[in-house]
Amino acid sequence: MLLTAAFAACLAAPGAFAAEGEKPYKVNADGKVNWPTFSGYRRYHSECHVCHGPGGLGSSFAPNLLESIKRLSYEQYLEVVVNGRVNVDAATQNVMPGFATNLNVMCFVDDIYTYLVARADGAIGMDRPKHTGKPPEAAENEKACFGDL
């Protein structure tokens, strides 16, 4: 039940990034980013970076996501995150687990996407970005998506 509800909440607005030319991230003149970009930064670094490296740059375990994110549509990105990907042959042993049941990923899957696009576009660097603050909606969404923690 919880998962279904979370899923629905997370995927409430897929395709929000589909609009041509529209960037999901926002970087102000003073370098501060909007909350989703920052949220994506920290969720990425607690869930993804062990394999995909700091800042999405990749490692010998997993590809550079700043390249991948340019090739993948939002829907394709979502598909890989949810289901994982297996690429095992004589030369490579890459296994990405599916994150469908991981709320730390799924509740913030759009934020992580936002962060990676911002990184891929060169709009933000490797380091922890400063942000414009956590809006009340973000806190509420987090609570709704996580359920009773």
Partner 1 sequence: MKGRRTIALVAVAVALAGASSLHANTKLMRMSDDANQWVMPTGNYANHRYSELKQITSKNAKDLKVAWTFSTGVLRGHEGNPLVVGNMMYVHTPFPNIVYALDLDKDAGIVWEYKPQQDPATIPVMCCDTVNRGVAYADGKIFLYQADTTLVALDAKTGKKVWSAKNGDIAKGQTGTAAPMVVKDKVYVGISGGEFGVRGHLTAYNTKTGKRVWRGYSMGPDSDTLIDPKKTTHLGEPVGKDSGTNTWKGDQWKIGGGTTWGWFSYDPDLNLVYYGTGNPSTWNPVQRPGDNRWSMTIFARDADTGMAKWVYQMTPHDEWDYDGINEMILADIPVKGQTRKVLVHFDRNGFAYTMDRVNGELLVAEKFDDVVNWATDIDMKTGRPNMVNKYRTEYNGEDVLSKDICPAALGTKDQQPAAFSPRTRLFYVPTNHVCMNYEPFKVSYTVGQPYVGANLDMFPAPTRPGGTDRGPHMGRFIAWDADKGKEVWAIDEKFSVWSGALATAGDVVFYGTLEGYLKAVDAKSGEELFKFKTPSGIIGNVMTYMHKGKQHVAVYSGIGGWAGIGMAAGLTGDRDGLGAVGGYRHLQNYTRLGGGLTVFTL
Q: Does 88 sit near partner 1 (CB under 8 A)? A: yes
Q: Any residues with CB less than 8 A from the CB of 118 and at least 6 apart, and which?
A: 23, 24, 25, 27, 33, 37, 40, 124
Quote the CA–CA distance of 126 and 67 in Å, as a whole number. Answer: 15
Q: Is 84 left (phi over 0), alpha (psi -120 to 50) or beta?
A: left
- With CB under 8 A as the contact rule, the residue among 7, 45, 80, 121 that binds partner 1 is 45
Q: Does 79 sit near partner 1 (CB under 8 A)? A: no
The amino acid that residue 144 corresponds to is: A
The amino acid that residue 106 corresponds to is: M
> What does the per-residue mask of binding to partner 1 show for 49-78, with x meaning CB under 8 A?
-xx-xxx-xxxxx-----------------
> What does the per-residue mask of binding to partner 1 show for 1-40, with x meaning CB under 8 A?
----------------------------------------
Q: Which is nearer to partner 1, 24 or 53 (CB)?
A: 53
Q: Does 46 sit near partner 1 (CB under 8 A)? A: yes
Nearest distance from residue 63's CB to partner 1, in Å? 12
Dmax over Cα atoms in the chain, in whole Å? 50
Give how many residues touch partner 1 by CB under 8 A.
37
What angle is formed at CA 42 by the lines to CA 39 and CA 48, rounded to 5 degrees? Answer: 120
